[in-house]
Amino acid sequence: MRRFRLTTVTADACKVNGMKEIRPNSMPEAADLLAMYRRMLLIRKAEEQLLKDVRLGRTPGQVHTSDGQEAIAVGLCAHLEDADQITSTHRGHGHFLAKGGDVRTMFAEIYGKKEGVCGGMGGSMHVADFSKGIVGANGIVGAGLAIAAGAAFANQLDRKGNVSLCFFGDGAANQGTLMECLNIASLWRLPVIFVCENNGYSEFSPTETVTAGGIADRAKPFGIPTWTIDGNDLTEVWRTGAKATAHAREGEGPAFIEARTYRYSGHFSAEANVLATSYRSDREIEAWRDRDPISRVRSYLEMSDEYGSTALAQVETEIDSEIADSVAFGLAGTPPEPGTAEPLMFAEGSG
Ligand SMILES: Cc1ncc(C[n+]2csc(CCOP(=O)(O)OP(=O)(O)O)c2C)c(N)n1
């Protein structure tokens, strides 16, 4: 799979919030847009497949999908390199693939096979690959915040200009650890980008029933620059990511993005089995589908001079075969031997 060609974002003279700014209407180059479209579609199709796999009993547990949220992961990770780190959530397949994680070993991991990216011992909620700067997905809501701040501290000491980026949900924004991390990140000017994927729900609770005040407002008292954006608009996400990463890379300290979005599927794959009634209306889901991030980019590319519907159909065919290949690879794998997990739980010499 082709890694993103990273676009160099040139800082424009105009300033917003006292920061370097790229032009409000600047667009990614067409080749980059196609690469991002491809990555979003890969995430969407991989997760559609995983939902089928759960029903077919191929996964040892349930999965949390991010269908509808793909533009945030892809538009932001487009500005990161392997040596930059991300931390992820329980809904982490999209983050993993957006950061350049391998789709075959992700499937093997979620099927619980030792050929998986974490030896089949982490599963859906713990996909990680340190060689790609994916330093962990996490079942503990909010846990990635402090890990990202720690990675940023290490980057600051290394002085190589690397940054860390933390994805977390609107529910996690109510965890006390967010305040601790914003505080220390601001005080020490850590190169970390906090990204709240506000999908409107924390499990089955609408955000407004459990969250007081604005989420981006939590960062403002710490003097951290914030943006609240349409997380379903890839170009807006990409532009904001350019500004936030440039800010952190240049040693100006942390940045905070609240990206408004929606997940079409439930909180997790077994939702229909545990809930008697839905907490969301069909009308609400359809209204968000009308703003689907992938369809929006697809329509743009279809009308572009560089790519038309034939090129896009080709992308789709390639992704379908990539997914089929990943499923076959995962299914052909073998479960880890009992007894191999325990030694991995302790560092050498910890006795
Ligand atoms: C510390 C902790 N508290 C509670 C839970 C149970 N739990 C799992 S997911 C979730 C909702 C998280 O919502 P949000 O952060 O908005 O992420 P989203 O699922 O919407 O992506 C909760 C409460 C948990 N896993 N960890």
* Average pLDDT over all residues of the chain: 92
Closest Cα partner for 156 from 288, 248, 36, 26?
248
Cβ neighbours, 10 Å, residue 134: 25
Q: What is the mean pLDDT of residues 273-296?
A: 94
For the domain spanning 50-267+279-329, the CATH number is 3.40.50.970
pLDDT of residue 338: 86
Tell me the DSSP string of 15-60: EETTEEE--TT----HHHHHHHHHHHHHHHHHHHHHHHHHHTT-SS
Q: Whose CA is nearest to atom 2 of ligand 1?
A: 141
pLDDT of residue 15: 31
Q: Whose CA is nearest to atom 20 of ligand 1?
A: 202
CA dihedral sign of residues 158, 163, 168, 174: positive
CA of 264 to the centre of ligand 1 (A): 17
pLDDT of residue 351: 60
Q: What is the mean pLDDT of residues 113-130?
A: 97
CA of 85 to the centre of ligand 1 (A): 22
CA of 33 to the centre of ligand 1 (A): 32
- The yes-or-no verdict on residue 327 having pLDDT over 60 is yes
Q: Whose CA is nearest to atom 9 of ligand 1?
A: 203
pLDDT of residue 21: 46
pLDDT of residue 13: 26
Q: What is the mean pLDDT of residues 277-296?
A: 96
Output the CA torsion 120→123→128→129 (10° steps): 30
Res. 281 pLDDT band, cuts 50 70 90: very high
Residue-wise pLDDT tens digits, 167-190 = 999 999 999 999 999 999 999 999
Residue-wise pLDDT tens digits, 37-75 = 999 999 999 999 999 999 999 999 999 999 999 999 999
Helix (H, G, I), strand (E, B) or coil at 165: strand
pLDDT of residue 26: 74
Radius of gyration from C-alpha coordinates of the chain: 20
pLDDT of residue 143: 98
CA of 315 to the centre of ligand 1 (A): 34
Instruction: Identify the residues whose C-beta falls under 6 Å from ligand 1.
Output: 89-91, 139-141, 169-172, 199, 201-203, 267
Residue-wise pLDDT tens digits, 152-167 = 999 999 999 999 999 9
pLDDT of residue 229: 98
Q: Whose CA is nearest to atom 21 of ligand 1?
A: 169
Q: Among 13-22, 31-40, 113-122, which is the least confidently predicted range?
A: 13-22
Q: Among 112-121, 238-247, 303-312, which is the least confidently predicted range?
A: 303-312
Q: Express as a percent the part of the chain with pLDDT over 70.
A: 92
- The yes-or-no verdict on residue 1 having pLDDT over 60 is no
Cβ atoms of residues 21 and 15 within 8 Å: yes
Residue spans of the domains in the chain: they are: 50-267+279-329
Helix (H, G, I), strand (E, B) or coil at 225: coil
**Nearest ligand 1 atom, CA 175:** 1
CA distance 125 to 28: 31
Q: Whose CA is nearest to atom 25 of ligand 1?
A: 140
Cβ atoms of residues 48 and 265 within 8 Å: no
The conformation of residue 120, written as its DSSP 8-state character, comes to T
CA of 6 to the centre of ligand 1 (A): 32
**Nearest ligand 1 atom, CA 91:** 21
